[in-house]
Structure 1
Amino acid sequence: MLVHWIWFAHRPGLNDRDKMALLQHFRDPEDIYFADDGAFDAIGLSEEAKTALREKNLTSAEEILEACGREKLHILTCQDAAYPARLKNIADPPVVLYYKGRLPDFDGSPVIGVVGTRKASAYGLTTAKRMGYQIARCGGIVVSGMAYGIDGMAMSGALTAGAPAVGVLGCGADIVYPVSNRALFRDTEEYGCILSEFAPGTPPAKWTFPKRNRIISGLSCGVLVVEAPEKSGALITARLAAEQGRDVFAVPGNIDQPSFVGSNRLLRDGAIMVSSGWDILSEYEALFPDKIRKEDAPAHQTAYPDEVHKAAEAEKPLLKVAQKLRLPRKNENLKKDLAHQGIDKTPCAPYSDVGSVRPKLSPEEQTIVDALSGGERLVDDVIAETGLSTGKLLSSLTMLELKGIIKRLPGKRIVLSGK
């Protein structure tokens, strides 16, 4: 019965891993409810956990069930067929989810978590909305936390593209938080899904947001960090994603701006550098060939969203915060381009021309370049051949990509830029 699932899901002193261990031993929470103490000995539960299971009062669970009826919340248990398998396979999945709206096909779709700081720059906000829009247009589903800043803008972009978006809350799914996101909450409920592991009426708290982050990463194939300072909840989500075996992507940002220190550090540590939604979705083209399509989003739909700044005022702040690096082009118009920018008119070597001037390489980078001399390779094959650790290889790949020596291809393949 659902009341037993709710009772079990909200047992204090019982962590998510203990709950999953119990569900592997018993048929369902109703069996756990009626089991005596001796039945728990084989599982190795702590005394605190056993004490929690001895409390058989169902009043609180019944009140939660009634609240779900009032607030029109659906209840999804981890044994239901609709429960996302991707989420169920993490170490500590939520036993019960409460949701509003319609559940998308999580397991049959490329789901991308998009996270970042609440105190985002104009560049970060614009990039988040553009990324959300492009991910959705290319066939992906955006999952985020519906917070101020990066989260909300990414979801807004996805909804603008006419695709569902999923908001994972750090409070009850009946609570609009933050209040200023009421319109986003309403649109997400109508065209996507709002879900939470917290019972209806649960207020947001400092501990609830880090706890919900594992759900964002657990639902996702990969997690994109758009903008994050050195200490950011988005970095917690990125760490959880890596621990769960998900891909971690990051957008390069202004190195002089504190709000990008954390996300830029992810790139140094091996996150995949991206600048468009297609950069992300192309990684999963082989897994979801019928869902993913390459579409270039028109810039006017996302570059200067009304949520960031009003029309004429938007352009200047965006250019001041962070611009995409403009690389010299190896063509006859090079001198004209440089003259137009008002800088030194002397032609220089192309930044990404590996054949003419190659930046100095570390021993690890040289080893990777040697391994790629025969043509494109799978990342896993390069790890096996070079003997480098996964973390070291990924960070070296990022540096090689920044130096213009390699480029990433769909399907986790890499190749020398000149090949």
Structure 2
Amino acid sequence: MTEKAVTAEKDRGNDMDTDVLYWIWLSDALGASNKQTGALLSAIPDALEIYRMDAVALCERVPKLSRTVVENLSQKSLEHAKRVEEYCLRHGIGILPYSDAFYPDRLKQIFSPPVLLYYKGTIPDMNEKLCLGIVGTRHLSDYGRRMAYRLGYELSLCGAYTVSGMARGIDTAGHIGSLDAQGCTVAVMGCGLDRIYPPENRWLAEKICANGALVSEYPPGELPARHHFPQRNRIISGVSQGICVVEAARGSGSLITASMAQEQGRDIFVLPGNVGNAGFEGSNDLIKAGAVFFTQTTDVLQTYEPLYADSVDLSRLSQEDAYAAYDELHVPPIYTPKRGQRNNTPFERTAAGKHDTGKRSKTGQHTAVFDTENNGVPSPVVLQDEQQQKIYDALQEPHTVDELAQLCDMESRQVSMQCTMLELSGHITSAPGGLYCRATPEEG
């Protein structure tokens, strides 16, 4: 990627900026999509300064802070933030705080900006280039699939960055189109970056990291949850100049993104559908409410071409391509598993059905050392935390979080959090396919 960009690789093998630790603490204290974040950071745009302030000083500077927020900001322990920071360093996850010059300016202007963004890959300079969101239904039609792919391809071909959520359906088609055009695309996740959701898009996540970035405001270990996705949608629209709704039924989550885009003052472009087609009723409602309809990519790009004359070039799109019928374009098939179907890809299991445990990070500290007087058998591991002990004991063989939750009679969220802590302490390691296994001592 030749444009100015920030990559997670710059953080690997080096200590992160000391201030990043306080931004992690602040993000943890406020939580995702906190409505008071904007007011707090507008008044005090420095996490270290906020950390050093007591409750009285905070209330004097930002009088409208709620009691809950003040109480959370009064908790000064950095232990969790240190564990998260170390985990990110070991796993190639970059951290882009609100104070960083590469933090998107448009995102700072929304009502509840993320305190920081975790990322994998390379975040392009969104302050200088045209960024457009591609959103739509997970239950897409063939028409929607082809048009989302075409939109992603042609936006990237002409020099725009694309942003979406890597969800099934329209999101996936748009990302693939951008990648096929050798463009830069950014996927905003609704979970920690150590989780890939949906799991069948693991291959897509790897390709996006090579030609763009995965970003999330959620720390490692955070599982996807229903309420996360509306929260992440505000980031998709927040970093974009405009949102392109490709296909949306009434009740589609993409309508939430469009609503947020309107609140943020973003442009909304909508692909119209046939009257009476339930899959496009939400789209057509947006058009009736005043959104701009588009029938080809140039309709969208012409809006911004004067502002981005140096980077947006419609001449890269031939007239023949621009006016081609949707069914004349080559579009690769996009796999969508049937409900309840497990996706056993090579990333998850070997052909023989055995788990591939991968390599353990060399920076982890072991407490399960080999006992040389006991024929190389690891000494019993005794952990202070009861939940962690239960999980460790259950890992006689590799398991996923959901499997561990059943074995240990715990909630998946609790298991995920404790697995992250066990991995940070070096007791367990993660493997392809969302599996966890006990860490093995390094060969001498």
Q: Contact conserved, 1:133 with 1:158, CA < 8 A, in 2?
A: yes
Deviations 1:19-66 (A, max 9, x none): 333333335222211211210222121111111112122221111111
Shift of 1:14: 8.6
Specify whether residues 150 and 216 from structure 1 end up closer, same or farther in structure 2 by C-alpha distance, changes over 3 A only.
same
| 1:4 and 2:30 are equivalent in the alignment | no
Residue in structure 2 matched with residue 275 of structure 1 by the alignment: 295
Question: Of residues 73, 77, 87 in structure 2, which corresponds to 1:67?
Answer: 87
Specify whether residues 27 and 92 from structure 1 end up closer, same or farther in structure 2 by C-alpha distance, changes over 3 A only.
closer
Residue in structure 1 matched with residue 387 of structure 2 by the alignment: none
Identity of aligned residues (%): 42
1:306 maps to amino acid? P
Paired residue secondary structure (2:26): helix
Residue in structure 2 matched with residue 353 of structure 1 by the alignment: none
Specify whether residues 156 and 302 from structure 1 end up closer, same or farther in structure 2 by C-alpha distance, changes over 3 A only.
farther
| 1:248 and 2:268 are equivalent in the alignment | yes
Gapped regions of structure 2 (runs ≥ 5): 1-18, 336-444
| 1:259 and 2:279 are equivalent in the alignment | yes
Residue in structure 2 matched with residue 24 of structure 1 by the alignment: 42
Paired residue secondary structure (1:263): helix
| 1:105 and 2:125 are equivalent in the alignment | yes
Residue in structure 2 matched with residue 161 of structure 1 by the alignment: 181
Q: Contact conserved, 2:130 with 2:160, CA < 8 A, in 1?
A: yes
Residue in structure 1 matched with residue 215 of structure 2 by the alignment: 195
Q: 2: distance between equivalents of 1:136 and 1:25? A: 37
Shift of 1:13: 7.0
| 1:213 and 2:233 are equivalent in the alignment | yes
Specify whether residues 121 and 13 from structure 1 end up closer, same or farther in structure 2 by C-alpha distance, changes over 3 A only.
closer
Q: Contact conserved, 1:157 with 1:302, CA < 8 A, in 2?
A: no
Q: 1: distance between equivalents of 2:328 and 2:89? A: 38
Q: 1: distance between equivalents of 2:208 and 2:31? A: 33
| 1:125 and 2:151 are equivalent in the alignment | no
1:234 maps to amino acid? S
Residue in structure 1 matched with residue 67 of structure 2 by the alignment: 47
Q: 2: distance between equivalents of 1:220 and 1:206? A: 23
Deviations 1:223-274 (A, max 9, x none): 0000011001100110111111111000011222211110111111111111
Q: 2: distance between equivalents of 1:15 and 1:145? A: 16
Structure richer in helix, relative to its length: 1
Specify whether residues 302 and 210 from structure 1 end up closer, same or farther in structure 2 by C-alpha distance, changes over 3 A only.
farther
Gapped regions of structure 1 (runs ≥ 5): 310-419
2:329 maps to amino acid? A
Question: Of residues 306, 310, 331 in structure 1, which corresponds to 2:332?
Answer: 306
2:56 maps to amino acid? G
2:245 maps to amino acid? V
Q: 2: distance between equivalents of 1:210 and 1:71? A: 27
Specify whether residues 301 and 140 from structure 1 end up closer, same or farther in structure 2 by C-alpha distance, changes over 3 A only.
farther
Question: Of residues 100, 103, 108 in structure 2, which corresponds to 1:88?
Answer: 108
Residue in structure 1 matched with residue 418 of structure 2 by the alignment: none
Q: TM-score, normalised by structure 1?
A: 0.71
Q: 1: distance between equivalents of 2:152 and 2:237? A: 16
Q: Give the aligned CA root-mean-square deviation in angstroms.
A: 1.9
Q: Contact conserved, 1:115 with 1:226, CA < 8 A, in 2?
A: yes
Q: 1: distance between equivalents of 2:206 and 2:327? A: 21
Paired residue secondary structure (2:118): strand
1:303 maps to amino acid? L
Paired residue secondary structure (2:134): strand
Aligned pairs, number:
309
1:62 maps to amino acid? K
Specify whether residues 302 and 96 from structure 1 end up closer, same or farther in structure 2 by C-alpha distance, changes over 3 A only.
farther
Specify whether residues 15 and 46 from structure 1 end up closer, same or farther in structure 2 by C-alpha distance, changes over 3 A only.
farther
| 1:35 and 2:61 are equivalent in the alignment | no
Q: TM-score, normalised by structure 2?
A: 0.67
| 1:136 and 2:162 are equivalent in the alignment | no
Specify whether residues 272 and 24 from structure 1 end up closer, same or farther in structure 2 by C-alpha distance, changes over 3 A only.
closer
Q: 2: distance between equivalents of 1:233 and 1:183? A: 24
Paired residue secondary structure (2:281): helix
Q: 2: distance between equivalents of 1:227 and 1:271? A: 14
Q: 2: distance between equivalents of 1:70 and 1:141? A: 29
Q: Contact conserved, 1:129 with 1:302, CA < 8 A, in 2?
A: no
Paired residue secondary structure (1:16): coil
Q: 1: distance between equivalents of 2:31 and 2:246? A: 36
Q: 1: distance between equivalents of 2:33 and 2:108? A: 15
Q: 1: distance between equivalents of 2:251 and 2:330? A: 28
Q: Contact conserved, 2:92 with 2:120, CA < 8 A, in 1?
A: yes
